[in-house]
């Protein structure tokens, strides 16, 4: 069961190619915008400015219905603001237009990268498809949805795991566990898209081959209570349990427990390996996020964490590594916290914190654009699409009538599946189509021109 | 330099008006150059155009205390949409206009303040959005209503920007005229608001 060559992590690494400088410049600009947004109040005539800015609209209103009271009010307002004492004059002879258009690299040293203005893509506000998901367990700490690299979606409903093939929309049942072992508490596809791990309430983990529909093995003894979160790193299956322990299991060998990470005091609900497979982020019900680094592994004692991030004030289940900037991690806090925080996992520094107003259940980065998608609970149960790094809301997708606990992204990065306690599974075309669909290098000529652009 | 009284620290209304209108000339040139509205080669020609005319008129208004603000507007040539608006608002000491008194302020101090603004204008290119398309500029003057309109000027609308980003630059003060600088610009595509 060699998952090495088909690892999805290496795929992700190939896609991230953004030079670090560009990111920093952008952030400096958006920070400056926030600083400058309120200019020096004492020197500005705010009333005048406000009136001038809204004046145009008011004029349009007056053209339709104008009561004498309103007219008098306008006059009074104008007088108090010295409006009628001002005349605006423009110089009559208009200056000559510039003769030639030079590219913006000329003369002015522009700090912005010259980016062609793309038309804004349309983000459909409603789900493209809604499927029925009866008996979906409404438990914040579980991870019952995962989309594999073979384009098959796995969802756990009660004691059963179903597989939904996205290419032909067919559903099949993988396994139904016994009542005493179930319900299923987590599902996670291996990088090869063929093998799948299923975590159970009785603390066991089953490994299945989805194409052969055959169970390969059961991992026992790694946890004392239910396994709510899992993450793959090549042949290592990392499991997080309600007991607060995180265990690295090498699925190829008999004695599968190779490493244990101790640090969480309560249930581990979020678990994600970075794209490089070097760092693991874990979030727990103890409001703590730990960053574990493989380079710190020791055979003798339990491995020490690299960073312990305690800024969240509620359980952290939502974790997402940024695909285009390594060492950038986004975390989302639960009902008492409601923030999304960004971290540099090299230094452990918190880069930004955004209050979303609602419990953050899940986070997904876009593979095509610099965008982040978050799913929320009370009151709107919405999915929010944010522009990164400005963290401006680009869209809010409504539809679910209960907190959107589970989200998964399609392997091509265009579609997001979300499931909630309202027993629906919805699909959203929120990430759009990839900008450049490069299939295979065509001619030598094209390769050469690509080199120029990289410079 | 325009006419100024011999004793350097004393500023008269005429002297102050000269300083302010000279400043506008420099500022306007600097803005047009730095924002790349005109390519470098044709800049000498543009400098000769119009701006001296603008300055003499300004001086007249400034001496009368009737000029409230001067606005330089940069618009897209194709769509005539206002992309940037450089607003210089002027506060005139009415005592000086009415009674003809003079004030005291060191020449060097005023020059330093003006230089600070010029530097700020030059460095504004680091945060102002790129002007990728051909642009034209216009100059607006906000005056009192009782000012006779010279034939080279016509009435105009304020050419405002909807939902602008605003940056306030330094101001300078001759003790007779106080000039505040503010640049407002249309939000860039990057910060989608």
CA distance B61 to A57: 31
Domain limits at A338?
A: 129-428
Q: CA-based Rg of chain A, rounded to a whole angstrom?
A: 27
How far CA A89 is from CA of A140, B72, B86, in Å, comes to: 64, 12, 15
ipTM of predicted assembly, 2 dp: 0.71
Mean pLDDT over A397-409 rounds to 93
CA distance A391 to A337: 17
Q: Provide the domain count of chain A.
A: 1
CATH number of the domain that residue A383 is part of: 2.130.10.10
Question: Are the C-beta atoms of residues A268 and A305 closer than 8 Å to each other?
Answer: no
Domains of chain B: 9-185 (3.30.900.10)
Q: Is A65 inside any structural domain?
A: no
pLDDT(B42) > 50: yes
- B36 and A52 within 8 Å at the Cβ level: the answer is no
Mutate to test the interface with B, among A26, A90, A102 (most CBs of B within 10 A): A90
pLDDT at A269 (0 to 100): 94
pLDDT(A428) > 70: yes
pLDDT at A441 (0 to 100): 40
Q: Please check whether residue A44 touches B, CB under 8 A.
A: yes
Q: Is A360 inside any structural domain?
A: yes
Q: Is A151 inside any structural domain?
A: yes
Which residue of A45, A88, A98 is in closest CB contact with B158? Answer: A88
pLDDT tens-digit readout, A302-336: 788 899 999 999 999 999 999 988 889 999 999 99
Q: Within 10 Å of residue B126's Cβ, how many Cβ atoms?
A: 14
Q: Is A340 inside any structural domain?
A: yes
Q: Is A55 inside any structural domain?
A: no
* Closest residue in chain A to residue B67, using alpha carbons only: A86
Q: Within 10 Å of residue B11's Cβ, how many Cβ atoms?
A: 26
Element (H, E) at A70: helix A68-80
pLDDT tens-digit readout, B108-135: 888 888 888 888 888 887 888 888 778 8
pLDDT at B141 (0 to 100): 85
pLDDT(A97) > 80: no
Residues of B in contact with A117 (CB under 8 A): 189
Mutate to test the interface with A, among B124, B166, B185 (most CBs of A within 10 A): B166
* Among the ranges given (A93-107, A110-124, A309-323, B141-155), the one the predictor scored with the smallest mean pLDDT: A93-107
Residues of A in contact with B180 (CB under 8 A): 43-44
Q: Is A289 inside any structural domain?
A: yes
Q: Is A357 inside any structural domain?
A: yes
- A90 and B192 within 8 Å at the Cβ level: the answer is no
Burial A356-390 (b: 16+ CB within 10 A, else e): bebbbbbbbbbbbbbbbbbbbbeebbbbbbbbbbb
pLDDT(A11) > 50: no
pTM for this predicted structure: 0.52
Q: Is A94 inside any structural domain?
A: no
- B140 and A90 within 8 Å at the Cβ level: the answer is yes
Which residue of A36, A88, A108 is in closest CB contact with B156? Answer: A88
């Amino acid at each position: 069961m060699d998952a090495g060559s088909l690892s999805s992590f290496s795929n992700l690494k190939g896609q991230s190619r953004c030079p670090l400088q560009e990111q920093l410049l952008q952030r400096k600009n958006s920070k400056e915008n926030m600083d400058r947004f309120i200019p020096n109040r004492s020197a500005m005539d705010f009333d005048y400015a406000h009136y001038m800015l809204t004046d145009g609209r008011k004029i349009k209103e007056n053209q339709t219905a104008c009561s004498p009271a309103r007219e008098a009010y306008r006059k009074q307002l104008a007088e108090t603001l010295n409006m009628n004492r001002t005349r605006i004059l423009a110089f009559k002879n208009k200056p000559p237009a510039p003769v030639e258009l030079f590219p913006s690299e000329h003369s002015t040293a522009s700090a912005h990268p010259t980016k062609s203005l793309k038309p804004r893509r349309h983000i459909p506000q409603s789900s493209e498809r809604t499927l029925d998901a009866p008996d979906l367990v409404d438990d914040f700490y579980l991870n019952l949805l995962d989309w594999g690299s073979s384009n098959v979606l796995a969802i756990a409903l009660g004691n059963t795991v179903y597989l939904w093939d996205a290419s032909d929309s067919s559903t099949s049942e993988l396994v139904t566990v016994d009542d005493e072992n179930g319900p299923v508490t987590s599902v996670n596809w291996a990088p090869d898209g063929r093998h799948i791990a299923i975590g159970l309430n009785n603390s066991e983990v089953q490994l299945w081959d989805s194409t052969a529909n055959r169970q390969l093995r059961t991992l026992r003894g790694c946890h004392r209570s239910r396994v709510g979160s899992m993450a793959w790193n090549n042949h290592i299956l990392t499991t997080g349990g309600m007991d607060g322990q995180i265990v690295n299991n090498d699925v190829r060998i008999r004695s599968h427990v190779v490493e244990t990470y101790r640090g969480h005091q309560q249930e581990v609900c979020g678990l994600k390996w970075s794209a490089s497979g070097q760092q693991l982020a874990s979030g727990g019900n103890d409001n703590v996020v730990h960053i574990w680094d493989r380079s710190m592994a020791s055979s003798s004692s339990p491995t020490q964490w690299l960073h312990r991030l305690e800024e969240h004030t509620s359980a952290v289940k939502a974790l997402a590594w940024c695909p285009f900037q390594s060492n950038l991690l986004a975390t989302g806090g639960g009902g008492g916290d409601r923030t999304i925080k960004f971290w540099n996992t090299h230094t452990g520094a918190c880069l930004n914190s955004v209050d979303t107003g609602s419990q953050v259940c899940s986070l997904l980065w876009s593979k095509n654009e610099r965008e982040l998608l978050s799913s929320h609970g009370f009151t709107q149960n919405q999915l929010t699409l944010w522009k990164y790094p400005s963290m401006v809301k680009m869209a809010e997708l409504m539809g679910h009538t209960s907190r959107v606990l589970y989200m998964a992204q399609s392997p091509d990065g265009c579609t997001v599946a979300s499931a909630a306690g309202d027993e629906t599974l919805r699909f959203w075309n929120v990430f759009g189509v990839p900008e450049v669909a490069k299939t295979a290098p065509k001619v030598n000529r094209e390769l050469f021109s690509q080199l120029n652009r990289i410079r | 330099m325009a006419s100024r009284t011999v004793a350097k620290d004393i500023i008269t209304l005429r002297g102050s008006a000269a300083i302010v209108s000279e400043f506008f000339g420099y500022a306007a040139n600097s803005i047009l150059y730095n924002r790349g509205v005109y390519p470098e080669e044709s800049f000498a020609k543009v400098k000769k155009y119009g701006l001296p005319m603008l300055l003499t008129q300004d001086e007249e208004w400034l001496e009368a205390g009737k000029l409230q603000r001067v606005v330089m507007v940069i618009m897209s040539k194709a769509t005539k949409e206002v992309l940037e608006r450089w607003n210089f608002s002027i506060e005139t000491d009415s005592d000086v206009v009415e009674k003809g008194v003079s004030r005291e302020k060191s020449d060097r101090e005023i020059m330093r303040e003006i230089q600070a603004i010029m530097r700020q204008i030059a460095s504004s290119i680091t945060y102002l959005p790129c002007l990728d398309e051909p642009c034209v500029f216009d100059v607006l003057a906000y005056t009192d209503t009782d000012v006779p309109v010279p034939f080279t000027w016509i009435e105009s609308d304020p050419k405002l920007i909807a939902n602008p980003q605003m940056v306030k630059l330094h101001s300078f003060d001759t003790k007779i005229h106080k000039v505040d600088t503010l640049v407002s610009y249309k939000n860039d595509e990057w910060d989608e608001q």
